[in-house]
Amino acid sequence: MSFRSIRSYAAAMCLVLAPLTAAAQQNFGQAAGQQAVDFARLGQNQTEALQVNEAIYQGIGFGNTFLVVTPAGNVIIDTSSAGMANRHHELLTKVSTAPVRYIILTHGHGDHTGGVTDWKQDGTQILTQRLFPDFCAYQDRLAMYFARSNAAQFNFDAERLKQLQRSPRGKVTPTITFDDRYEFELGGLKFDVFHTPGETPDALSVWLPKYKVAFVGDNIYDSFPNIYTLRGTQPRWALDYVASINKVLKLEPEIVLPSHGLPIKGHEEVVKRLTKYRGAIQYVHDETVKGMNDGKDVFNLMREIKLPAELDMGETYGKVAWSVRGIYEGYVGWFDLNPATMYAASPNVADAELVMMAGGANAVAVKAQEAVKAGDAVKGLRLADAALASEPAHRGALEAKLLALETLQKSTRNGLENAWLGYGMRGVQKLLNPPTGPQGEAK
C-alpha cells in the first residue's frame, strides 16, 4: 500500500473509532478484518521518532503524538489512541525523558486522548479548550450507540460489542481550559493555543511562533473532510472549518502538523494545501445553501454537487455527498416539507404491498439484478430491499442485494463506504447461509 493510501486510510478510520473505549482500541487489531489490522499497525514499524525540527518530534500512528522539547521540560500535543500510545511513549522518551510539563489535547476524540495516562506525571498540566469536557460527556452519553455503530463498521463480534458497552472510556480531566486563546511560555518557548472549531466544537490549534509551526489536530486531512461521518455525529459546521483554517493561514506557518498524516512543510506548500482545503469546504457549503434556497431537495444536491477540478482533493476519507446532507440537515433538520414524512411511519412502509402488486418478491428481485447489471447498483439495492420487505428471507432478493453491495464496494475508494458495504454484505451472507439450512424461495 502506498504511503498516500495508508495515510488516507488512517484518516478514514480515525473518527469512526473516536468514540471507542480505550480497551476497544487496544484490542481493535485482534477483532477486525485484514484492512483494520493494517490500519492498527500503522506506525508500528517506526523505529525512531520522526524529527520535525530541532525541538519537535512525532510518533506516527492511528493519531500522531507530538513531543516538543524545551530547556524547562517537555510538552506533549495529542497522545494517540490507547493501542498506539505505549509505542509512541517508547519512541519519544528515547528523544527526551525530561518532565512532561503540559499535555495539550487538540480535541476530545479517543484517538487523541487515549495515551494521557502514559504521559501524565505529578504536576503535568492538561490543557484543553473549554468545551472539551462537554464534548467527552456527549460521547459518553451515547456510548452504547457508538459502540454498536463501531461494532457494525469494524465487524466486532457480539462478545466484543458487550465489552464495548461495558467499558466506559477513560475520563480525562483538564487542569487548564480556555475560551478563545491561552498563551504560556516554557523554557523560553512561547506556546499560543487557540480555539479552532471544525471537526469538533472543542478543537484547538497550537502555534509556536519561534518555529512558525502550527499543530492543527483533525481540521486538516489528506482528503475531503468528513463534515458528516456515518458512525454518527452531531453537526460539524462547515463555516467553522473555514474560519479556523483562516486563523491558521493568517499566522503564515512554515510547517503545519496535522494529527493524522505527515508534516506539511514549506510556506508555499502550506498555503497551497490549506487554501485548497478551505476552498473545497466553502464551495460545498455554498452550493448546498444555494440549492436549499433554490428549493432543491437533499438527494438532488447530494448527486449534483461535485468539486471543481482545482478543488478536488479526493474522497478517501470524507465524501462530498455525505457532507452535503450533513450541511443541509445540520441547518434545517430532518423534515423535508413532505407531509408524509412527519408521521411515525418508515419510508418503506408500503413496500411489501407494492411488491405484491408488482408480482411478488421474485419478480422484484429479478428487476433488482437487472438494475445492478445495467449499472445502477443503488437502484438495485433499493429494489432488493423492497423485495425483502415483502419476504425477508427470499433467496433471490438476498442474492440481488449481495450483488448490489459487492458491485458498489468494487467501485469505491472511500474507506468508510467500503466498511459499511462490508457490514451490509455480512448481514446478507448470514441470511443466505443460515446454520439450519436455506430459507425462502430459490430463484
- Residue ranges binding Zn ion (CB under 5 A): 14, 111, 218
Q: Which three cell numbers stand for residue 258?
A: 496535522
Residue 225 or 326: the one with the smaller Cβ distance to Zn ion is 225
Q: How many CB atoms lie within 10 A of CB 289?
A: 16
Residue 16 or 355: the one with the smaller Cβ distance to Zn ion is 16
CB of 116 to Zn ion, least distance (A): 15
CB of 110 to Zn ion, least distance (A): 9
SS3 at position 65: strand
Strand order in the sheet with 56-59: 50-51, 56-59, 65-70, 73-79, 100-104, 125-129, 176-178
What whole-number distance in Å separates Cα of residue 189 and Cα of residue 127?
Answer: 16
Residue among 76, 43, 46 at smallest CA distance from 61: 43
Residue 50 or 186: the one with the smaller Cβ distance to Zn ion is 50
Q: Which three cell numbers stand for residue 377?
A: 447498483
Residue 111 or 287: the one with the smaller Cβ distance to Zn ion is 111
CB of 204 to Zn ion, least distance (A): 13
CB of 111 to Zn ion, least distance (A): 4
Residue 218 or 351: the one with the smaller Cβ distance to Zn ion is 218
**Paired strand residues for 79:** 65
CB of 259 to Zn ion, least distance (A): 6
- What H or E segment, with its residue span, contains residue 186? strand 181-186
CB of 63 to Zn ion, least distance (A): 5
Residue among 145, 93, 144 at smallest CA distance from 121: 93
What whole-number distance in Å separates Cα of residue 134 and Cα of residue 132?
Answer: 5
CB of 106 to Zn ion, least distance (A): 8
Quote the distance between the C-alpha of residue 342 and its chain's center.
Answer: 30
Residue with the CB atom nearest Zn ion in the bound state? 14
CA angle (104, 110, 116) in 5-degree steps: 45
Residue 9 or 283: the one with the smaller Cβ distance to Zn ion is 9
Residue 25 or 70: the one with the smaller Cβ distance to Zn ion is 25
CB of 14 to Zn ion, least distance (A): 4
Distance linking the first and last C-alpha atoms of the chain: 40
Residue 163 or 200: the one with the smaller Cβ distance to Zn ion is 200
What whole-number distance in Å separates Cα of residue 107 and Cα of residue 260?
Answer: 13
Residue 118 or 218: the one with the smaller Cβ distance to Zn ion is 218
Are 11 and 222 a contacting pair, CB within 8 Å?
Answer: yes
CB of 17 to Zn ion, least distance (A): 8
What whole-number distance in Å separates Cα of residue 176 and Cα of residue 435?
Answer: 56
Find all residues with CB under 8 Å of 119, minimum gap 6, and list them: 76, 79, 85, 89, 100, 103
SS3 at position 190: strand
